[in-house]
Structure 1
């Protein structure tokens, strides 16, 4: 295992700079997820760690060694891609052991490592099969097994579950986390799915347009997002935002631009006199007789939860309720945000106000 230090990394393609001085420390044995929308630079950063992209400026260290000029084969890393990239003419066992054979590893050791990885991944019954005889999830496990047999210092995952259906993604998500907990190898995992990141990673690094927005544990990012972007990206469904200002005439309230009054908790002096965004997550609304009257637009029952899209003044928002509610299209309900879970953001800078 090994730690990873990313110091002031910049990446340019000609005059176009796509990574802007990113710095990130990854501890030995840590599972960290790189998340963000398409084009944010997460896969580019992963490929620079792997040595598949050149670093324009800055340093990347694995262990105690700067690896900028090392080829991928000398970095002691193993990478699992979005595509399975299996050899169709080789069996599962041969696919998993191919990299070891290229290293001239003794045949008996190759067989032992392949067998051990197959046991971890429940692939023993499939070792003599070919990729065409496997399901998508089994193929992805073979790709993971190919990485495991190398016993690397670092695992790199580049959106490995994107090609799987929803149910299989959930299953594989659990299998990758279980694998990590068993091996405790330093892992960098790229995904655009923030639910994957929240459920799997020790820490999450959120990127946008080649900048690192925030790094923290899943709960830290969920409870204390640094800015509007992180608040809106982390959490599913995403956070609701309402624009307005504070009104404090002895009883502090938030007044939206269209005149709706909403409760607030303790007010920071830095929030006074500014245009603000009032942020509340869908699960932090409650139905209350003292709430604000809202018009229901969409009701989405899922069994365990009921999602309701509603109009609060001129703002279209979403609430998610654990209890069953009797709400229909164009009916009215009274909704109140949980004040303890409300966030205020500076509308101009997007930064969270403490």
Structure 2
């Protein structure tokens, strides 16, 4: 186990800069998820940490040691890729122990490391099989086992669940989180799926265009997003954004509807702003603002409704079973205790009152 420090790291390809001075502190044994849309630089940052990409500036430390110029094999890390990258002609046991074989480790040592790793991942009955005889989830566990056998200071995961079906992704999320709780090794995990980030991470790093937008615990990012980008990216379904302006002690939408200011906003300056409310915080209530239903999507336990507040699209997530029809108008209330205000020009969140 080891802490990881990424300090003012930059990456350029010729004159094109892709990573712009990223700084992240990762504690010993922490599970950190880098999340963001495609092209935000999260995989590039992970590859620089692994030693697979050269850095153009800044410093990376693993366990207190600067590794900028160290080759990947000397960094004491293990990486699990989106592609399982298993040797098809080798058994599960041989795939898991291959890195130790390359180091000329004794057969007894290889077996002593492979067996406990196989036990942890439920692979013991499969050790004699070949990759073609395994399911996608089993192959991913073999790839994880190969990393565990190396006993590294840091595990790196690069979108390891992207190739799995939805049900298998859910079970593999739980397995990876359980693995971290057992091994207590530092993990840096890259994904574009914010649900993976929310359910697995101790700390989330939200990236956009090669920069860090916000760092924090999952619920901190959900409850107190730094700006509209983070607010819209973290949480599923995404947060609603209603355009309008702050006028005295109220928020007035572009269509003239009045919404209550967030209960913790305190005194805010009048001007253009964005009102944020999550779909699950919208309630049907007599006397509320009218919205026009456009789409109704029942899922069994919930009803997802796409609607219009004046000319602006919003989403509502109701836990009750409702007989709603497209075209009808219903009154809703936005809970001010869970609402957010964002600056109309910068998109930055208007901070809570003290």
Q: If the length of structure 2 is used for normalisation, what is the TM-score?
A: 0.98
How many equivalent residue pairs?
A: 350
Q: Secondary structure at the match of 2:271?
A: coil
Task: For 1:29 and 1:207, locate their aligned partners in 2 and report how far apart those are by CA, in whole Å.
Answer: 22
The alignment yields a C-alpha RMSD, in angstroms, of 0.8
Q: Counterpart of 1:5?
A: 5
TM-aligned CA deviation for residue 247 of structure 1: 2.1
Unaligned runs of 5+ in 1: none
2:312 pairs with 1:337 = no
Separation in structure 2 between the aligned mates of residue 253 and residue 154 of structure 1, nearest angstrom: 50
> What is the aligned partner in structure 1 of residue 281 from structure 2?
284
Equivalent pair of 1:95/1:146 in contact (CA under 8 Å)? yes
Partner of 2:229: 229
CA distance in 2, matches of 1:54, 1:294: 53
Gap regions ≥5 residues in structure 2: none
Displaced runs of 4 or more, over 2 A: 265-269
Q: Distance in 2 between matches of 1:115 and 1:320?
A: 47
In the aligned structure 2, how far is the partner of 1:267 from the partner of 1:219? 19
Q: Which residue of 2 aligns with 1:318?
A: 315
Larger mean Cα displacement after TM superposition, 335-344 or 321-330: 321-330
Change beyond 3 A, Cα 1:282–1:80: same
TM-score by length of 1: 0.98
Q: Any conservation in 2 of the 1:268–1:353 contact (CA below 8 Å)?
A: no
Q: Distance in 1 between matches of 2:140 and 2:330?
A: 46
1:259 aligned residue: 256
Query: Aligned equivalents of 1:70 and 1:106: distance in 2?
Result: 26
CA–CA separation in structure 2 for the residues paired with 1:37 and 1:141: 26
Within the candidate set 305, 308, 319, 1:308 is matched to 305
Structure 2 Cα separation of the partners of residues 320 and 183 of structure 1: 38
Kindly state the Cα deviation for residue 268 of structure 1 after the two structures are TM-superposed.
4.1
Matched, 1:189 2:189: yes
Q: Report matched runs for 1:110-259 at 5 Å.
A: 110-248=110-248, 252-259=249-256
The C-alpha deviation readout for 1:248-289, integer Å capped at 9, x for no partner, is 2xxx221011111111135444x3222100000000101100
Preserved CA contact (<8 Å) 2:291 2:331: yes
1:294 counterpart = 2:291: yes
